[in-house]
Amino acid sequence: MVGSPKKHLLPLTIVSFLALFFFSHYHSSLPLSSPHQDPTYTRQEIHYWKSPTPFALLIKVLAFNRLESLSRCLRSLAAADYGGDTVHLHVYIDHFDASRNYSRDYLEHKLEESREILAFVDGFEWRFGNKVVHYRNGNVGLQAQWLEAWWPSSENEFAFVVEDDLEVSSLFYKFVKSLILNFYYNSSNFSPSIYGVSLQRPRFVPGKHGNKIHLDSGTRLFLYQLVGTWGQILFPNPWKEFRLWYDKHKTKGLKPFLDGMVTTGWYKKMGERIWTPWFVKFTHSRGYFNIYTNFAHERALSVSHRDAGVNYGKTAGPDSQLLDKNSLNFNILEMQPLSNLKWYDFCFREVLPGRVVRTLDELGSVLPSVQKQETILLVSFYGTSEIITRNLICHFERLNIRNYILMGPQSGFLFDLARRGHPVIDADQFLNNLRGNKLTRLLGSDAKVKEVLLKAYIIKKCLEHNYNSWLVDGNILVSSDLILGPNDPDHNFYAGKHSELFYVRSSSSAQKVWNADFLYNVGSMLNKASFPGDGRNLLYAVDSLLKKKGVRIEPLDETRFGMDIGTNNVNLTSSKSDEKMVYWSSSTGFDLLQKQLEELRIFGLAFGYTVEPIHKPSTSSSHATWKDRKELENVKVVSLGGKSVKKQRLPLSVARPMMKNQKKREQKLLEETVALGHFGVKLGNGSKRSVDKRKPDNSVLKSSEGYFRNGVLDVKHLLRPAPSRDTNSARPMSNSAIPMFNEGKKKKGSGKKKHGKKKGGGRKRH
């Protein structure tokens, strides 16, 4: 008997409903990009706006006393297209400074100014979410406004920090959300090195000797280490990390100084009123980057009008053109994959992150990218501490040495170096991937054999690419001109007498000797039980095998062009003019090594991390004014326990003529200096006149030579007869004490010394 139609339709209806539910669920879980798209791009379509991720953007507006600027800023934010999303607005209004002895009229004016701003913000309609107003009861300044504006509540909460003189494009939110979906939530494009997105036009390089920003017209997105304060989106985890880092450094009394960065000068001038030096120091120490836009015709999604205020004495006007729908001639939601974007450091030098060599093919692609003048520096940090390795890398940055590859065992430290843009060789993976090679039978579990065979194999690969190679351990600091190496066509191999410095010149004869059989013999020799334990290194084995082939390794006497700092009795103040390296034994204790490197001023770079060449004027230059030298001496007096000299103001009628005469004297001295070239350089071969080589500040009483008692300088010891001018006395090291840190070049005539007494028996004063 046939059942009723309703009973038959019920199961069909249930099945249809389940099928529809399954299809909807499956469709919502598909990737956001179409599988038929061009794989090099990820196009953001309209339906992406309803993302399954709990994405939330908080807008943080920082205001003070500029009502007109704040009004323009908030109206531009309200005109943006938020696609139906909930976006909360938080307005932070700083209080005026009432702590000083201002007049009653001035304070009343500031109170009225604040009331007008509060009335406007209270009446401002925000239709996209909650509006929260934080009116401070005291003046905290720009640093606290930024730092206290946000503490992320989750990993899905982002902050858009906007200063009140900014104006944003109506397209900014769609772009920001599209970018975050592509580079934060898309695992194939995610990088923990990215801390945010800047919407301002890139225009500033903080490195004093950095490159100019030059990007081709096809580059719309790139990564740059500098924070963009004119419209910055902050990612949650890096911001939390920064806040904790800031607390730690502030508690320890540390300063955000970075040699060669203009932010250091800003901090010295403005102190804790600004926050950017702290964030620059943080991102530099972590190796973090910011995503920037590059739109043609100086357009941007956020524009600073640079109104008169804390940063500008008078209004400077907008820095770029605002990108709007009418001027949009491209798809702003089109995103390239992260692998296609370029990365730049604070000096706007390109950085290549993620270069980890694990295979022969990867090594073959990396070698051409690092070589300079067909020479590569192979740096092994086996047995070298992390802090010494970082110091070595910072030294490379200081001298702009970039033709190096770091090699070592697999570790988090090695991958962190690769993330920061340093090319590295993962020794464990590289050796494991040499399958099918007879060398693998020699590897075993002996770490020393693995280390030696890795070095030998990398040298072989360099020879195959016709590159010279320097092999150094982490216990050497070299100058850039040493890296070029000897160029004697009669010799291919050079080795240090006192260090494991090894140089292989590229040639057909060297490549013929350094073949696979040679490497196998090296491994076999190291595996012999009779091989001396302390000599189980590459140089010992190679020297023995090359002698059997009739090939000689030329010795490099490091003492002729370098200095061993691994002992206590080394005289660091009497360095030779042709020194191109410092080195030490691997058994040197860390405390002694740190002391020696600090005396040479080449330690601590891992914490200060210079980003500019060392060619910069000295504070004790002959061009320094009397006032500068006096202040420097006063600082020394105070540091040694003396009493600071109180500054006394002279009447203007007295000070003005003195200042005028002082400027004339300094100008005359400068003109004479320019005419003579430099102090200590003769006018010419036929002229008898020469400028004394003794620096002007040597003829005055130095605080560093004094002793203090109850704040009073005791000079009795200075009444002893003066030593001979030819006596070599210890002196503090300067930046140019070791020429290797100034490219190791001698000045003409610097090797000659004048002896004897001048006519008149005394020193001519200038």
> What is the pLDDT at residue 638?
44
Overall number of domains in the chain: 3
Residue 312's pLDDT is 63
Tokens in use for 458?
């990398």
Q: CB count, 10 Å around CB of 433?
A: 16
Asked if residues 117 and 70 have their Cβ atoms less than 8 Å apart, the reply is yes
**pLDDT at residue 179 in the model:** 96
Give the pLDDT confidence score for residue 607 in this predicted structure: 41
pLDDT value for 317: 81
pLDDT of residue 723: 47
For 213-227, what is the mean pLDDT? Answer: 91
- Name the percent of the chain lying above pLDDT 70: 66
Q: Is residue 619 part of a domain?
A: no
Say how far apart CA 615 and CA 274 lie, in whole Å.
28
Q: Which range is most confident: 608-612, 669-673, 728-732?
A: 669-673
Q: Say if residue 673's pLDDT is above 90.
A: no
Give the residue, 521 or 131, on which the prediction is more confident. 131
Residue 762 confidence (pLDDT): 46
pLDDT at 513: 94
- Is 464 inside any structural domain? yes
Domain limits for position 712: 624-644+699-723
- pLDDT beyond 60 at 387: yes
Mean pLDDT of 550-563: 82
Please give the pLDDT value at position 483: 64
Tell me which of 317 and 535 has the higher pLDDT: 317
Residue 32: the pLDDT is: 33
Residue 572 belongs to some domain of the structure:
no
Shared domain check, 284 and 409:
no
pLDDT for residue 374 is more than 70: yes
Among 568-572, 612-616, 723-727, the least confident range: 612-616
Of 294, 313, 344, the domain-final residue: 344
Q: Is residue 504 scored above 90 in pLDDT?
A: yes
pLDDT band at 25 (very low <50, low <70, confident <90, very high): very low
Name the pLDDT band for 530 (thresholds 50, 70, 90): low
Does some domain include residue 566? no
pLDDT, averaged across the chain: 76
Kindly indicate the confidence band of residue 620, based on its pLDDT and cuts at 50, 70 and 90: very low
pLDDT-derived band of residue 275, with 50, 70 and 90 as boundaries? very high
Which of 376-380, 453-457, 478-482, 606-610 bottoms out in mean pLDDT, i.e. has the lowest? 606-610
Least confident range from 86-95, 318-327, 635-644: namely 635-644
Same domain, 338 and 359: no
Instruction: Specify the 3-state DSSP secondary structure of 384.
Output: coil
522 in a structural domain: yes
Least confidently predicted of 109-113, 372-376, 400-404, 660-664: 660-664
Residues 205, 136, single domain; the answer is yes
Q: Do both 145 and 162 map to the same domain? A: yes
pLDDT at 578: 55
What is the pLDDT confidence band of residue 599, given thresholds at 50, 70 and 90? confident
Confidence check: pLDDT of 546 > 60: yes
Q: What is the CATH number of the domain that holds 373?
A: 3.90.550
What integer pLDDT is reported at residue 340 of this predicted model?
A: 93
Segment 720-733 mean pLDDT: 42
Residues 320 and 193 in one domain: yes
How confident is the model at residue 200, as a pLDDT? 93
| Position 198 pLDDT exceeds 60 | yes
* Tokens describing residue 746: 């001698």
**Mean pLDDT across 525-540:** 67
Q: What is the pLDDT of residue 583?
A: 75
Q: Which of 236-245, 396-405, 424-433, 678-687 is predicted most confidently?
A: 236-245
pLDDT, position 302: 95
Write the single-letter amino acid at 196. G
* 303, 443: one domain: no
Three-class secondary structure assignment of 733-763:
CCCCCCHHHHCCCCCCCCCCCCCCCCCCCCC
- Going by C-beta distance under 8 Å and a sequence separation of 6 or more, which residues neighbour residue 459? 378, 469, 471, 504, 514
Residue 728 lies in a domain: no
Among 708, 723, 738, the domain boundary falls at 723
Does 737 map to a domain?
Answer: no
**What is the mean pLDDT of the segment spanning 622-649?**
48
Are 162 and 223 members of one domain? yes
Q: What distance in Å separates the CA atoms of residue 273 and residue 41, rounded to the nearest whole number?
A: 43
Burial of 133 (0-12, 13-18, 19+ CB in 10 A): middle
Do both 62 and 179 map to the same domain?
yes
573-589 as b/e: b if 16+ CB within 10 A: eebeeebbbbbbeeebe
Position 540 in a domain:
yes
pLDDT for res 579: 65
Q: Within a 10 A sphere around the Cβ of 662, how many other Cβ atoms?
A: 14
Which pLDDT score is estimated for 332? 86
Of 508, 526, 559, which closes a domain? 559
639/527 same-domain check: no
Are residues 246 and 155 part of one domain? Answer: yes
Is residue 194 scored above 60 in pLDDT?
Answer: yes
Confidence band for 510, pLDDT divided at 50, 70 and 90? very high
Whether residues 281 and 362 fall in one domain: no
Q: Which CATH number does the domain housing residue 54 bear?
A: 3.90.550.10
Whether residues 296 and 381 share a domain: the answer is: no
Nearest to 419 by CA among 472, 341, 494, 352: 352
Return the pLDDT at 42: 37
- How would residue 619 be classed by pLDDT, with cut points 50, 70 and 90? very low
Contacts by residues 570-578 (CB-CB < 8 Å, ≥ 24 positions apart): 570/596, 572/596, 572/599, 572/600, 572/733, 573/730, 573/731, 573/732, 573/733, 573/737, 574/728, 575/737, 575/738, 575/739, 577/739, 577/746, 577/750, 577/751, 578/739, 578/744, 578/746
CB-CB contact of 526 with 439 (8 Å): no
82 or 611, which is more confident: 82
